Amino acid sequence: MRHLRGPAPLPGVGRLLNEAGYRRLRERYPYALVADAIRDQLAHERSAGAVGDAERVEEVGARLAAWTGPRLRRVVNATGVVLHTNLGRAPLSRAAAAAAADVAAGYSNLELDLETGRRGDRSSLVAPLLTRLTGAEAALVVNNNAAAVLLMLSALARGREVVVSRGEQVEIGGSFRMPDVMRLSGARMVEVGTTNRTRTADYEAAAGDRTAALLRVHTSNFRITGFTESAPLAELAQLAHRLGVLLLDDVGSGALEELFDEPTVAEAVLHADVVTFSGDKLPGGPQAGIAVGRAAPIGRMAKHPLARAVRVDKMTLAALEVTLRERLLGSASPVSRMLTSPPDELRRRAGYLMVRLQERGIECERVEGASAVGGGSLPGHEVPTVLLALPGPASRLAAALRRGEPPVLARIEGGRCCVDLRTVLRGEDDLLQDAIEAACAACATVS
């Protein structure tokens, strides 16, 4: 059966393992892995036809390289989207990244109070920074904002009703849909108002004995414009107080400081009982879900069994602590530096890159454009930028850049492959230049 297709029988795995070419592979890879790669290759040959000895060694080596090669890698973000979820959102400051690496490589006081020697609480490490930054009484950190919202609803509204505006039934990034999260938490959603207009009176009319909370969700990845109305948070707070229910606010991107027109977390904390947001959006930190607010509801969230299931790990906490301390001390995060770098500076950087590429015979053009905040933050808010448009077939160039070393993510605009230096980090300009040269050369030889 095995050899029906080819005249020459395939060699055995054991014999191949002892041949010179495979012995060399065994110096670099574990024996069992080399054997697996040989088996895989022979299985392939059984259906596709046998190959020569030299080609077989090469194929086995290629399999091993593919299996063990790096998968999650640094890339250069030249898309101009600052908080790009597919590219890992916020780049950390050097100090925040170093703190995560340091804590990861050793032991830490993650759940130990060094003063008393007693068991501590991991969230309390960063809670003082969060309460100082936002004016809240208490704070809790979990895995991400989706988890924070799920925990908030589970701990505070399970088996009861939560009133939410129809204009705020948001879906974020495909799998986070407020109605689904609500169902999962065991809270019952009561929708009020219409897509474009919801008034405080609508919430009031819907609230009853079973109501646990009013929920506001920041419509962070789209914007309804035109004939719109939403209830001011201060009014909702008064209503919630009068009804004796909680006011919950998922602000999403979580501006800790004044940035464009985004409402700050501190403003939300003035009115809402619990405010949730992501650590890796506007705060410029690691992936985390942050809940701040009054001590009683935050305490109930911390004690809920789900809190353990969605808890944050030590590397995240280490990076978050440094990130929050930097915000408190007033130093700008990489995210806010990118969002606020002036077009003139970008024009200068683009001009410099353009001249250096020109010296290599690559004629680019500077064009005006717009960068986006991204990450479901500040929809419709575009930041003026200067793009460098590369010569050549746009989608082939973009693919060559993406497959390059390091991978570069560009964007196609006006039918041209463009790089937006706003999101290219300091120190990456030279890498970008080399990558562009390589991509242009690759596209030139193919055509």
Ligand X SMILES: *Cc1c(COP(=O)(O)O)cnc(C)c1O
Residues of the shown chain interacting with ligand X in the complex, contacts defined by CB under 6 A: 144-146, 149, 172, 176, 217-218, 220, 250, 252-253, 278, 289, 376
* Helix ranges restricted to H, 360-410: 394-402
- Minimum distance of ligand X from residue 285's CB (angstroms): 11
Least separation, in Å, of the C-beta of 39 and ligand X? 41
Cα three-residue angle 274-295-285, rounded to 5 degrees: 55
Identity of the residue, 218 or 327, whose beta carbon is nearer to ligand X in the bound complex: 218
Q: Which residues pair with 191 in a beta bridge?
A: 164
CA distances from 326 to 99, 257, 330, 331, 336 (A): 13, 12, 6, 5, 12
Q: Name which of 304 and 347 has its Cβ closer to ligand X.
A: 304
Which is nearer to ligand X, 123 or 341 (by Cβ)? 123
In whole angstroms, how close is the CB of 85 to ligand X at the nearest point? 7
CA 435 to chain centre: 24
CA atoms within 13 A on the CB side of 411: 19
Q: Where are the extended beta strands (E) located within 124-187? A: 138-142, 161-165, 171-172, 176-177
Whole-angstrom Cα distance, residue 442 to residue 75? 19
Alpha-carbon distances of 149 from 140, 154, 221, 249, rounded to whole Å: 12, 8, 17, 9
CB of 171 to ligand X, least distance (A): 10
Residue number with CB closer to ligand X (202 or 250): 250
Q: For ligand X, which residue has the nearest CB? A: 252
For ligand X, the closer of residues 190 and 217 by Cβ is: 217
Choose between 146 and 373: whose C-beta lies nearer to ligand X: 146
Contacts of 223 by beta carbon, 8 Å cutoff, 6+ apart: 379, 380
**Number of other residues whose CB lies within 10 A of the CB of residue 31:** 11
Least distance to ligand X, CB of residue 388, Å: 30
How far apart are CB 335 and ligand X at their closest, in Å? Answer: 14
In the complex, least distance from residue 295 CB atom to ligand X, rounded to whole angstroms: 23
300 three-class SS? helix
For ligand X, give the closer residue by CB, 113 or 180.
180
Contact 230, 165 (CB under 8 A): yes
